[in-house]
Structure 1
Amino acid sequence: MITNDKISLKEHYGIIKHLIRWTVLILPIAIVIGSVVAFFLWLLEAAIHFRFHHYWLLFLLPVAGVGIHFIYQFVGKSSEKGNNLIIEQIHEAGGGIPKRMAPIILFTTVITHLFGGSAGREGTAVQIGGSIASMFGGWFKLKGVDMRMILIAGVAAGFGAVFGTPLAGTIFAMEVLTIGRIQYDALLPALIAATIGDATVAAWNVHHVHYHIDHFVSAPFLLSGFFHIDILLLGKVIIASAVFGLVSFLFAGMVHEIKTICLKLFKFKWMIPVFGGLIIIGLTLLLGKPDYLSLGIDAEHVGAVTIPSAFYNGGADTWSWLWKTIYTTITLGTGFKGGEVTPLFYIGATLGNTLSGLLNAPVGLFAALGFIAVFAGATNTPIACTFMGVELFGGEHALLFAVACFTAYFFSGHSGIYGAQKIGTPKVFAEYFSDETSLSDAMKRRGYMYQKLRKYRIQFKKKEEE
């Protein structure tokens, strides 16, 4: 007769076996990913500072764009789908991620930044993680669910390592796949990978930027004695976060539209990055400052608008967030490589700086809220971004971080920078947001439904006139 104690013992033996197996599998993968990400961060910083001292490199941006185009044309091939390819392969439980993805995206991202393109680094780190994890998965002869879990772990390792946020990296890798649903079966591999990846970057003595929210005193409010939080401040946070979500929607839409328009305008695809590079050069000359080029973390000159400067009064111009949106969407929409997340941090932080003045709110707090909320809206990962807020800025304002991320998540609608995301639980229920539809398919259906509705309206109007 099998007793409850024997069943419990067998279950815990299985748990220990599962833990040991995945630790052994993930350890070498995460160390390699962390090491490659550390090299990438070092190389990227060197490239950016080299351009600081050689301003003329900006004028070669169109040439660099043509080079990137032909690298992907002849060598990269399917790798050009980037993060969307990794998400697709995780959904299909396959390992069809080419080994060349990691070196190609690393090299082309550094080229983009060396010549002044406005892009990020998260996309590169995630692709490095996914590509290396897929390679190891093939060596370990993993298939099906195991391959899917190893790919999620690779994404977690890359994300956690590049930003120094292992908890956010863990949740991001599980949350980004399907809107409204988290893949908890991959929790253990993702957590181990993100932790080891982050520790490996630290072991290589590569450091991350530290941000700080200045202390502020809440303004007195009529009902303050009845609540544990500042209700007036909470209301301001909700208003600002709705704006953050709308800007996320704007960003994702602009990248998509720029790609679509350029494909229609130019017969030869190599002309698209030339066009994008020339616009970036023209805008920089027009504005008379290089503040919106590259990552936007380090200051190229005294008084430059950067992410760290946005946390202080006077550290951003009123329209800095819009200029960065234009620069980044043009850069990515015309074929240059990198990520979207660090520019989204810049857009959110500078927008938060602007809104803090309009709403008479703490500037450092609202820069931090914009930092994580615009990212949450653009990637549809509010839980991961809440954790990121706690890891980067401390837990004192955790509730406000959550309010900001979830509000922006809803106001960004069914849009996002990753078209391969599935819709598990729609934000609103409609015919074109059916379960398990990809985000790109949902957007196509939405366009079809809008056209259909417009057609009915025109027909109805004609009948009324008759």
Structure 2
Amino acid sequence: MQLRPKLIALVALMAVAVGCSVAFFLWSLEAVTRVRFENPWLLWFLPVAGMGVVWLYHRHGGDSEGGNNLILDRLHDPGGGVPRRMAPLVLFGTLVTHLFGGSAGREGTAVQMGGSIASAVARQFRLDAAQLPALLMAGVAAGFGAVFGTPLAGAVFAVEVVMIGRPKLRALPVCLLASYLGDWTCRAWGVGHAHYHIDGVAGPLGAGYLDLGMVGKVALAAVAFGLVGWLFAAVCHWLSAGLKRWIPNPVWRPAVGGVGVIVLFLIVGRADYLGLGVWSPDPAAVTLASLFESPGSHPWAWLWKLAFTAVTVSSGFKGGEVTPLFFIGAALGSALAGLLGAPPELFAGLGMVAVFAGASNTPVASTLMGIELFGLGYALPIALACGVAFLCSGHAGIYPSQRFALKKPFWRRPR
């Protein structure tokens, strides 16, 4: 792929627009989350809110209902591109999900806004069909890099997620440009990102953590991370297929899902597993941040978050899965550290990125994300955990439109 001046200029223009959109999204997400914490009664209206969003998509969304999988389908076959309406619809739908307490993420919103804006720029400036996939991948990179503040991981995610085992490396230069520029633009608006820390670095690249005993512990935990990533994807696919079969009218599915979330909340008796899960005004709440500060104190938090999120996203609510997967992975890593006699903060960090690696089938991007989040001093254990989790997570990831150029050992090749 030739990096023509026109393509470079369009990538830069698009990345700035995506960075601004993600900044507005993150600011709005923080605002609606605060409103929900101040008004916990909003949860009781989650079923109705979900019905309204799905009705809006059904009536006016067109192909936008395809979400992240539509972006991947267009990368395989550009076709008609991505609808412009996808960006405002997914932004509105995600904010509604979080305002009323649905357990969802934010990467899906950023990726879809990036793809939608990239496709709109391509149409406006009549970009030829050969260069459209590169611009779409750059849009994905800009959205992912900006929403998490991990531009290197965002660029690699965009080229890795399309075809497992055969990354689209020709598009990597434009994805790097877009991801770093999108992240820079988002930060320029004063939007910050959550920071997580692992205390203590042992040797260069974390080599001191990899004596024979620790290698075994990391590998064993990584098997669990991969299996839980597979479990999450499998439960989501099973629930989604079941709801489509049992409830033909899509507008009623989020009503059932919303009731399911409320029932789970009543069983648990706590609001810890609602919403994004990154922070809470309640100092005793289980959050992604607390899993690093008070490791090992909530051994089943990962399972509760998995259940809340699977019910939410499978029934049609908008958002994404990645941040809940971070929560699930950090909680599982923290619990396993106590069983294995391992450093709890390290295993919380490993689980945070390795469960995502397994569920998304993006081990390289997940490794780079871990390095960007926690530092180069943990590179080797992060790479080991993400690699093993990827191998142990099967082929049914959270993005059904992914294609595979390799077969994982011990798993049946997908049809």
* TM-score class, shorter: over 0.9
The within-5 A match list for 1:129-278 is 129-215=114-200, 229-278=210-259
Helix, strand or coil for the counterpart of 1:396? helix
Are 1:118 and 2:79 counterparts? Answer: no
Q: How far apart, in 2, do the equivalents of 1:293 and 1:315 lie?
A: 20
* Residues 202, 377 of structure 2: 8 Å contact kept: no
Specify the alignment match of 1:390 in structure 2: 371
2:311 is matched with 330
Quick check: 1:39 aligned with 2:24?
Answer: yes
Change (3 A) 1:172 1:267: closer
What do residues 112-166 of structure 1 show as CA deviations (whole Å, max 9, x unaligned)?
Answer: 0000000000000000000000000111211222001000000000000000000
Letter of the 1:380 partner, please give it. Answer: N
1:293 equivalent in structure 2 = 274
Question: For 1:277-316, what aligned pairs fall within 5 Å after superposition?
Answer: 277-314=258-295, 316=297
Aligned mates of 2:281, 2:387 — CA distance in 1 = 34
Name which of 323, 326, 334 aligns with 1:342. 323
Summarize deviations over 1:153-204 as a string: whole Å, max 9, x none.
0000000000000000000000000111110110111000000000000100
Measure how far apart 1:20 and its partner are.
Answer: 4.2
Aligned to 2:333: 352
Greater shift, 264-273 or 96-105, is seen at: 264-273
Unaligned runs of 5+ in 1: 1-13, 219-223, 434-441, 446-466
For each residue in 1:41-66, what CA deviation from the matched residue of structure 2 results, as whole angstroms up to 9, or x when unmatched?
00011001100000100000011011
**Contact 2:149–2:183, Cα closer than 8 Å, also in 1:** yes
8 A contact 2:295–2:345 mirrored in 1: no
| 1:377 equivalent among 355, 358, 381 | 358
**What do the CA deviations read for 1:338-360 (whole angstroms, capped 9, x no partner)?**
01000000000010010010011
One-letter identity of the residue aligned with 1:193: A
SS at match of 2:377: coil
Structure 1 residue 234: deviation in Å?
Answer: 1.3
Residue 54 of structure 1: aligned partner: 39
Partner secondary structure for residue 418 of structure 1? coil
Counterpart residue type for residue 121 of structure 2:
F
Q: Distance in 1 between matches of 2:24 and 2:86?
A: 16
- Whole-Å separation in 2 of the counterparts to 1:101 and 1:192: 23
The answer to whether the Cα contact below 8 Å between 1:216 and 1:362 also exists between their aligned partners in 2 is no
Matching of residue 400 in structure 1 with residue 385 in structure 2? no
What is the alpha-carbon distance in structure 1 between the residues aligned to residue 297 and residue 72 of structure 2?
Answer: 35
- RMSD after superposition: 1.8
Residue 464 of structure 1: aligned partner: none
Contact 2:303 2:328 in 1 (8 A): yes
- Consecutive unaligned residues of structure 2, counting only runs of 5 or more, are none
TM-aligned CA deviation for residue 271 of structure 1: 2.1
- Counterpart for residue 93 of structure 2: 108
Per-residue CA deviation, residues 13-65 of structure 1 (Å, 9 max, x unaligned), is x98xx364443221110000000000000001100110000010000001101
The CA deviation string for residues 316-352 of structure 1, in whole angstroms up to 9 with x for no partner, is: 5110000000000000011111010000000000100
CA shift, 1:216, in A, is 6.8
- Counterpart-to-counterpart distance in 2, 1:426 and 1:417: 17
Q: Which of 208-217 and 331-340 deviates more?
A: 208-217
- Tell me: CA distance 1:95–1:391, structure 2 relative to 1, closer, same or farther (3 Å): farther
Residue 228 of structure 1 and its aligned partner are, at CA, apart by 8.9
**Of 386, 390, 397, which residue of structure 2 is paired with 1:409?**
390
Conserved in 2, the CA contact under 8 Å of 1:305 and 1:315? no
Q: Distance in 1 between matches of 2:142 and 2:172?
A: 12
Is the contact made by 2:202 and 2:209 (CA closer than 8 Å) also made in structure 1?
Answer: no
2 CA distance for matches of 1:429 and 1:164?
Answer: 35
Name the aligned partner's letter for residue 102 of structure 2: G
**Range with bigger deviation, 90-99 or 333-342:** 90-99
Partners in 2 of 1:38 and 1:351 — Cα distance?
A: 30
Larger Rg: 1
The aligned amino acid for 1:98 is P
Distance 1:353 1:315 in 2: 5
Asked if the contact 1:386–1:405 (Cα under 8 Å) also holds between the matched residues in 2, the reply is yes
**Alignment: residue pair count:** 412
CA deviation digits over 1:182-232, x for unaligned, max 9?
1011011100000000000010000000110012779xxxxx9xx994221
| Pairing 1:97–2:82 present | yes
* Alignment check: 8 A CA contact 1:174 1:183 kept: yes
2-structure distance, mates of 1:258, 1:370: 24
